[in-house]
Chain A
Amino acid sequence: MSKVHLRFATDILRRFGEELNPNPDQGILELVKNAYDADARNCSIELTGAGAPGGTITVSDDGDGMEGGDIEDGWLVLGRSPKITTERTRLGRIPAGNKGLGRLAALRMGKTASLITYPRNDPQREYQLAIDWVKFDAADVVEDVTLNLLSRSRSHQLHHGSVITISDVSIPLTRTDVKRLARGILLLADPFGDDESGFHPVLKAPEFKDLELLVKAKYFNDAEFHLRVDVDANGHASAVITDYRGQALFSADHKELSSDSSYQCPPAEFDLWVFILDNTAFSARPTSIEEVKRWLREFGGVHLYINGLRVAPYGNPGNDWLDMNLQRVKHPELRPGTNTSIGRFSVTDLDDILRQKTDRSGVVENEAFNELKRAAQDALRWMARERLRAREIKRTKERTEAPKDVEQAKENLEKTVNSLPARSRNKVKKQLEQYEQVREKETQVLRKEVQLYRTLGTAGITASVFAHESRNPIRLIISNAKLLIKRAKDGLFKKKDATALEQPLERVLRQGQTLQSFTNLTLTLIDHEKRRVGKVEVHERVREVLKAFDSLANERKVEVVANYAAGNPYFRGSDAAFESILTNLIVNSLKAFEVIPPGPRTISISTELVGETVILRVSDNGPGIKGISVRNIWLPGETTYPNGTGLGLTIVQDSVRDLGGSVEVIPKGALGGAEFVIEIPILGA
């Protein structure tokens, strides 16, 4: 019996390489991954003339290098993975490399490939190996070609790592190949580039300068906002939000960020890049939304650095120590999550206030750590608020600017039409007129709808106030009715005991009237006549609203004083819009009174004519505006009442704008409480 071996034709090497790795970038990336797995900190990928045949690819790193045995039993063995993925590397990395086949594909790209490696474990030795593929092409089976592994002693002992050079590349690398390579490299690279233990690959490809830059700058330029927070040594924070060009959009001082005193923590810097991953935003950019998403999946979240060293697990995939995702679920448009942002929280902790847990699973959650967290979360909350405000401003601007845009477009259209030959001009003009009419109709319908929903909003707020207020009258009517029935049974009617019957009946009557006025006020707000645009007489409207509130104000022991300017100011608009404004403001005043001690309570309403405008002032002697910044009161959903909707003042602001006016607030006005000043242009008085 003789012993034989299964042997491989040399052709199999080529076919394996090509078929298993259809894209050349995958092979090169595999070499980069090998460097990563060898715990390299730096890795350079040089593509010299690789855009044409005959170029060179060099991948060099400062990793652990290899010893003779590693090369013979590892690097040169094709198709077997020596890596067990659950086992971490010396620096705690999860191995990224695959089977040796990717490497084969890369090495096979050129006519020759060479390896020089300086092992970390044997500082006085270096190894060299060259593969000449031409020899393989000439041989029948793989085993026929012998490779020479040179082992040499070396003098500079500090240096370790590997250099792989692939020369005389036969198939040129296309831009797409290099782009894919760059993306792959980015998924391995330390995102901030300043972690000493991180992986810092550098792409050198003179033919693809922009891709070189991409690897260097990563995707930070694709962020929509950059939040920067500084907490100084006194625990005072300041924050600024810049746009993608670095232009400051918003800034805040400590008071605006934190309702509380200073942060009891060491000084820190917090940077957060927030991405808006929306297809239209990315359509005009060189990067694709998918690659940014993939990158953020890998690196998104806020990474914690203490004295320059990264501390795990903060910012690892799945770690959301600032609870950003919970907030994002609640406010998806305003809050970044760990998959839509990347951040770095650097703490300078010279006094060792933050202690790492002994099992290296993070920082002991002491007071200082919680304060750091609070600072970050306060800043995130502030950013959400500013973004909400910005959205509101944009919404308003769009509304006021839309008509201007329409005018301009119309003018341009007319010019174009006028330049047409006479015959077709008239035809087009006619068509346009028709179109114009239809569009005008549509606009009117839409405007009416907006009016409807805004007044429905006011009616809803008023109704909820009154539904509250109605509970007691209803209860009293029922109680008194029961009382009367009982008294009737007891024979009191026969005794003609007037007070025993009169008093409960009077209460029933009074409470019934109160309910009636509530119903009337809510119903008149949604009366469709009131939404028609027409002449609005200010004084008449004020009187009507006050009349509707009469009974509630009486109940609440609130005095309502009205002072009217001489004359009868009027403007064109809808009654509903104007009444919405006044109703919401009066409801606000009544609510404000609930939190102050008993005493005289006054709401004052006055009108004043200044030039072509009427100024309506609504003020009270309540507590004024507190517990909320004056800028924030207009934001939808902002309220200081446990039962509030936070929509009242948003409706006031929108309604005033619909009437072409403006509204301002004085936190402590003439009567000591809040004072709202509304200016509306009038047609006459």
Chain B
Amino acid sequence: MPPTESTLSIIDVGHGNCAVLVDTNGVVVIDTGPGTALLEFLEQEGIERIDVVLISHADQDHIKGLVALIASQKYEVDVIRINSDALKESKLWDDLLFTLNKAFFEGAVQFNTSLTVADSGGFDRGEVHIEILAPDLYIAGRGPGSTDRDGRPLTSNSISAVIRLVKGQTPIAVLTGDLDEVGLDNLISNNLNCTAPVLVFPHHGGKPGSADMATFTKKLVDLIQPQTVIFSLRRGGNNNPQPEIVRTVRENLPDVRIACTQLSKRCAAALPTNQPIHLAAKYAQGRQSNRCCAGTFVINLSEAARPLLPVMQAHADFISANAETALCQTPLNAGHP
């Protein structure tokens, strides 16, 4: 049964990225996160058929969720596209091929290790146009370990796919994987229209490689011009988002809404004791342990206004009640030398 309304969910998967687009003619998954979050989400939503899986780049962390997804052997998957074949020599790769098993060898799954600007539009399954903004054919062809046009080294992050979702003429969101500065500069040099109201910030709001955080952030928000910036991260661990990134976003976009999937330790030393009431009604990894800040984001694409859940006010109330040192709220002129 085709879904009655189309939604984009940017799922709280902890440290990682995962977005599920339920469109009128099918389901598209963009990155699969680590662990079982995607599986939980699909189970909760009753989704059993996935038309397209796009993996932004070949980090172990991003392919792992895919192995779990395929190995569960519960889902019908049509098309799998992984950007970069840098993993081809690894055991994880073998695992993936093994789990794809017969389906792949019998041609039931289209499986390919390229995802570039040339694929724009190739994955549309309904109203939403899926644009691949990066990598371009040049840097994707050169591949990680090589260099870009200016001789700068390309990592798997440099060729991370950048995906923009557009409904009709209206951009919805830009998903950036783990894009780094080299990748960003290459994207900028291609002069594409990259604007979108929602930006899922690269690399979970962590340091973009060796690049200067402020420069990188400014270049990125200038390019996308978002109204909402999302950091998909896990509380603890890498201790994201980096304060300098958040600050630069806010300095450059005074009215921006900043939202993290989980409550960073930088923003709240202790976890809330009460169960969250502001979250969108979809699966979120941090929900059960009260680790969510904004949790999973949901954009209802069928409604003309395309509201972003959780709603801003309820989320803001949660932050003021539970996050004493919230990076998104502290006055900009204080706290930083």
Judge A-B direct contact (beta carbons within 8 Å).
no
